[in-house]
Every structure is written in C-alpha cells, then in structure tokens.
Amino acid sequence: MNETMNTILNRRSIRAYKEDQLKEEELQTIIEAGKFAPSAINEQCWHFTIIQNKELLHKINKACKEIMIKSGNKMFAERAKDENFSVLYNAPTFIIISGDEKAVAPQVDCALAMENMFLAAEAMNIGSCWIHAVINLLGTEEGKALKEELQIPEGFAPYCSAAFGNKAADSSKAPRKEGTVTILR
Ligand SMILES: Cc1cc2nc3c(=O)[nH]c(=O)nc-3n(C[C@H](O)[C@H](O)[C@H](O)COP(=O)(O)O)c2cc1C
C-alpha cells in the first residue's frame, strides 16, 4: 500500500509513553508538518506551544486532575483520584496549538495542523494522542495564569492539545463506523 496511506491507517491514539524525550530533529519535523497544514486564506493563524519542561508538565497534569475531581462526573473524578493516572499519559512532549481568534477559521486551521503533526509523528513511529482536558483547563479562571505562563499570545485561544512521545504500548485499532459515506455519481 502507498506509504502515506499506511501512515494514516497505522496512526492510533497512544496512551502509554516511554520516558525518553523526542530527538530535536524529530520535534522539528513534527513542527514543520504542523506549519505546512492548509489554512483559510493562508492566514496561518496558529501558534505552537511545545512543552517539554517536566515541572510544567506535572503542573498541567495536576491542574487537569483537580478540574476532573470538581467536574461532578463520577467516572472522571474516580480516574483523577488515582495517583498513577496521568491526563497526559506521562508523555515527555506536549503541544498546544492556539489560533488567532480574529482569523477566519482558527479552530479548523489548528485542527488541520494538529492532524499533520500526528501523521508526521506516526511516519517516524512516534506516538501521539489528542488530550482535550488541557483545552478545557485553559478556558477556566484557574487556567488563565497558566495560559500566561505558557506565553500563549494575546488574542489567541488554545484549540488543540496533544501528547507526543515514543510509544510504550500500541493501541488497539478503534473500529470505524459504517454508513458515514454518501457518494453521489
Ligand atoms: C477533539 C478530540 C478530543 C479527544 N480527547 C481525548 C482525550 O482527552 N483523551 C484521550 O485519551 N483521547 C482523546 N481523543 C482521542 C480519541 O479518543 C481517538 O481519536 C478515538 O478514540 C479514535 O481512536 P484513534 O485515534 O486511535 O483512531 C480525542 C480526539 C479528538 C479528535
């Protein structure tokens, strides 16, 4: 099968990571892939925040877990109370993509950039997983200070966030739904 198609079909959301950090060249390749996503009227309205600082990763994980405990959702709360559970799956690299809120379609642009990054990672056998809890966190009052600490530019909103790292375990193939396609000829 075509190499690109293989990469698309093999990418899975990975939820267990090795401790070792990505090589600088690998990180730069992933960033480059994000930057080369299409964007509405080529605005490239994105800003990429790469977090590899262990203390910061720990802080984000802790803040997300606190929100999960307070959420009122019993399942989330139970999960978050487990000391061994990491919202970021202990990944060594975490990437947030924020978009200029005044752009034409920032949410779409950022999501396309993130998928490009997922595929570039998979092409190097690097795992990735979208983690939405961090976007929820950054939208809260508690998340405001963190947004500043992460140096997310003024007027930009975080839309996508994901873990990246070397895979410690593969994920099973998530089945795809039937009946989601209409072809009109
Ligand atoms: C908008 C969005 C939010 C997601 N949030 C999470 C998340 O918070 N934690 C998680 O483990 N996976 C999350 N995922 C990953 C999905 O669960 C995953 O893509 C889906 O189950 C299909 O599996 P696959 O990616 O292995 O094909 C998210 C995916 C998307 C697109």
CA 110 – CA 158 distance, rounded (Å)? 9
Q: Give the pLDDT confidence score for residue 174 in this predicted structure.
A: 87
Q: 115: CA distance to ligand 1 center in Å?
A: 12
pLDDT reading at 171 higher than 90: no
CB within 6 Å of ligand 1 — which residues? 12-13, 15, 129-133, 171, 174
* Calculated CA dihedral for residues 94, 126, 133, 42, nearest 10 degrees: 80
> DSSP assignment, residue 181?
-
Q: 1: CA distance to ligand 1 center in Å?
A: 25
Band of pLDDT at residue 138, cut at 50, 70 and 90: very high
Q: 183: CA distance to ligand 1 center in Å?
A: 27
- Tokens standing for residue 71: 């959420």
Q: 112: CA distance to ligand 1 center in Å?
A: 15
22-56+89-166 maps to which CATH number?
3.40.109.10
pLDDT tens digits for 103-127? 999 999 999 999 999 999 999 999 9
pLDDT reading at 15 higher than 90: yes
Q: Give the pLDDT confidence score for residue 177 in this predicted structure.
A: 96
Going by C-alpha positions, the residue among 64, 71, 114, 112 that lies closest to residue 89 is 64
Ligand 1 atom 3 nearest Cα: 132
Ligand 1 atom 22 nearest Cα: 174
pLDDT reading at 145 higher than 90: yes
Q: What is the mean pLDDT of residues 41-65?
A: 97
CA 66 – CA 54 distance, rounded (Å)? 18
Q: Give the pLDDT confidence score for residue 170 in this predicted structure.
A: 81
Q: Give the pLDDT confidence score for residue 176 in this predicted structure.
A: 94
Band of pLDDT at residue 100, cut at 50, 70 and 90: very high
All structural domains of the chain with their residue ranges: 22-56+89-166
Q: Give the pLDDT confidence score for residue 142 in this predicted structure.
A: 84
The size of the chain, in residues, is 185
Could you identify the residue written with the tokens 């978009």?
Answer: 99
Number of neighbours of residue 79 by Cβ within 10 angstroms: 14
